[in-house]
Amino acid sequence: MSRAEVRGEPVEEPPFVASAVASAVAPGAGPDAGPGLVPGPGTARGPRALWSLGLLRSELLITFRRWRTLALLAVLAAVPVLVGIAVKIETSDGSPAGGGGGEGPAFISQVSNNGLFLVFTALAATLPFFLPMAVGVVAGDAIAGESSAGTLRYLLVAPAGRSRLLLTKYATVIAFCLAATLVVAVSALAVGALLFPVGDLTTISGTRITYTEGLGRALLIALVVAASLVGVAALGLFVSTLTASGIAAMATTVGLLITVQILDQIPQLDALQPYFFSHYWLSFADLMREPVYWDDLVKNLGLQALYAAVFGSAAWARFTAKDITA
């Protein structure tokens, strides 16, 4: 039986993955083996790089073929459409949209002048909740979902080891972070070009840049937003190793996300707020200044790296020592 059949999903495993699993099921390498599930003395072999690539490919295919994943991406793609239509209706009489300013949702005041600003507005609108919620759902289900489906022990029979499996899961979640961010950006770019004029644009600092340079900055902003989600991804992966219920892991991750967002708005906690993973999320607006302000951007990326290291290590420590019963 293939891994896809165990999951109940119509995804075929590459032939070399099936052979690798078959070679692992040898004396001393059954599902009741120890934490590392290492084959017996006569069959011990290190995992091949080809097998690891096959596992990553399989994880990516399974993740992005799930209806839940496609539904999340569809919702994210719909946000720029709704924002664009709302701005178009609001400005149909010539009145300006939103308010001025410069950061985050205040980009909306520029959308009617240049459709490219819809990209920045959509990312600012989805980053506080929609994007991290989607990432939390995928990350929370990474390990716990396999356990609740009864396929985790089957995966660990293969000669990749727990560390490589965990790393593959995290790489898949990171790929989803990038894909989700690009879906929002591309949707906003298309809607902005259809509903509003495009061309040279004015930065927050008041300088003019070409449309081509604006596209480059939009891509850079999308990459920064995707990188801003790696901390949430690591947190969700850690939570996923703590339970055998995918729903519980997803709910806990989203609950923690909402809690941190609320705490980040309480003035009395201003001493702690710079350490919350969401505190510098909207710093991507500084990429639309001339010159670019790098201070908060660097702090944001450094904070995300710290969260990824801490919770990634915690997930590894938990998963490698965990008794797998399902």
DSSP 170-186: HHHHHHHHHHHHHHHHH
Residue with the larger pLDDT of the pair 324 and 1? 324
63 CA to centre of own chain? 12
Nearest to 45 by CA among 20, 78, 10, 69: 20
Radius of gyration, alpha carbons of the chain: 22
311 CA to centre of own chain? 15
What is the rounded average pLDDT of the residues 169-195?
A: 95
pLDDT tens digit string along 88-146?
A: 888 766 555 554 444 445 577 788 888 899 999 999 999 988 999 999 999 998 888 88
Beta bridge partners of 201: 209
pLDDT given for residue 223 in this prediction: 95
Mean pLDDT, the chain, whole residue set: 80
pLDDT given for residue 90 in this prediction: 81
Q: Is the pLDDT of residue 202 over 70?
A: yes
Q: Is the pLDDT of residue 2 over 60?
A: no
pLDDT tens digit string along 12-30?
A: 444 333 433 433 333 334 4
Using alpha carbons only, give the angle 233, 144, 245 rounded to the nearest 5 degrees.
120
User: 0.85 exceeded by the pTM?
Assistant: no
Inter-residue contact 250 to 140 (CB < 8 Å): yes
pLDDT tens digit string along 274-288?
A: 999 999 998 998 898
Q: Is the pLDDT of residue 255 over 70?
A: yes
